Amino acid sequence: MSDPSTTPGISTIEEAVAAIKAGRPVIVADNEDRENEGDVILSAELATAETIAWTVQRSSGLLCAPMTNQIADQLDLPVMVETNEDVRGTAYTVTVDAAHGVTTGISASDRAATVRALAGAAAVPGDVRRPGHVLPLRAVDGGVRARDGHTEASVELMRLAGLRPVAVIAEIVADDGEMMRLPELIELGRRENVPVTTIERLIAYLNEHEPAAPTSDDAATDQPVQPHRSVSLRANTLLPTVHGEFRALAYRDRRIGVDHIALVAETPEGTMPGPEALVRVHSECITGEAFGSLKCECGPQLDAALRLVNERGGIVIYLRGHEGRGIGLANKLRAYQLQEQGLDTLDANLQLGLPADARDYSAAAEILADLGVDRVRLLTNNPDKVAQLRDHGIEITERVPLLVGVTEQNIGYLAAKRDRMGHELPGDVRGA
Task: Output the pLDDT for position 112.
Answer: 98
SS3 322: coil
Confirm or deny that 79 is annotated as ligand binding. Answer: no
- Write out residues in the chain with pLDDT < 70, as ranges: 1-6, 32-35, 82-83, 212-228, 270-271, 426-432
Confirm or deny that 285 is annotated as ligand binding. Answer: yes
Confirm or deny that 189 is annotated as ligand binding. Answer: no
Among the listed residues 255, 357, 360, 418, the single catalytic one is 357
> Is residue 58 annotated as part of the catalytic site, yes or no?
no
Alpha carbon distance 26, 286 (integer Å): 48
Alpha carbon distance 47, 98 (integer Å): 14
Closest CA to 186 of 175, 177, 195: 195
Q: Write down the pTM of the prediction.
A: 0.62
Confirm or deny that 254 is annotated as ligand binding. Answer: no
Q: What is the maximum alpha-carbon separation in the chain? A: 75
| List of long-range contacts for 335-338, beta carbons under 8 Å, 24+ apart | 336/295
Residues 348/338, Cβ–Cβ less than 8 Å: yes
Alpha carbon distance 66, 164 (integer Å): 11
Confirm or deny that 178 is annotated as ligand binding. Answer: no
Task: Output the pLDDT for position 64.
Answer: 98
Residues 295/336, Cβ–Cβ less than 8 Å: yes
Domains in the chain: boundaries: 4-219, 231-322+359-421
Confirm or deny that 366 is annotated as ligand binding. Answer: no
Close Cβ partners of 122 (under 8 Å, ≥ 6 residues apart): none
Residues 110/104, Cβ–Cβ less than 8 Å: yes
Among the listed residues 252, 334, 359, 418, the single catalytic one is 359
Closest CA to 155 of 38, 68, 25: 68
CA angle 229, 230, 233 (to 5 degrees): 90
Confirm or deny that 21 is annotated as ligand binding. Answer: no
Confirm or deny that 374 is annotated as ligand binding. Answer: no
Tally the C-alpha atoms within 13 A of residue 400's C-alpha that lie toward its C-beta: 17
| Alpha helices (H) in 352-424, listed in sequence order | 362-370, 383-391, 411-421
Count of positions (residues) in the chain: 432
Task: Output the pLDDT for position 427.
Answer: 56
Residues 410/296, Cβ–Cβ less than 8 Å: yes
Residue 162 buriedness (CB in 10 A; 0-12 / 13-18 / 19+): exposed
Q: Which amino acid is at 190?
A: R
Confirm or deny that 345 is annotated as ligand binding. Answer: yes
Query: Could you please report the per-residue DSSP string of 135-174?
Result: EEEEPPTTGGGTS-SHHHHHHHHHHHTTS-SBEEEEEBB-
Q: What is the CA radius of gyration of the chain?
A: 25
Alpha carbon distance 363, 341 (integer Å): 35
Confirm or deny that 301 is annotated as ligand binding. Answer: yes
Q: Give phi and psi for 422, each to the nearest 5.
A: 80, 10
Residues 114/135, Cβ–Cβ less than 8 Å: no
Close Cβ partners of 157 (under 8 Å, ≥ 6 residues apart): 16, 17, 20, 26, 28, 41, 167, 202
> Is residue 357 annotated as part of the catalytic site, yes or no?
yes
Q: Is 231-322+359-421 CATH 3.40.50.10990?
A: yes
Q: In Å, how far are 55, 59, 249, 381, 404 from 41, measured between CA atoms? A: 9, 11, 38, 49, 55
| CATH architecture of the domain with residue range 4-219 | Alpha-Beta Complex (3.90)
CB atoms within 10 A of CB 256: 22
Show the beta-strand stretches assigned E in 160-257: 167-171, 196-198, 231-241, 244-253
Confirm or deny that 64 is annotated as ligand binding. Answer: no
Closest CA to 358 of 318, 325, 330, 332: 325
Confirm or deny that 296 is annotated as ligand binding. Answer: yes
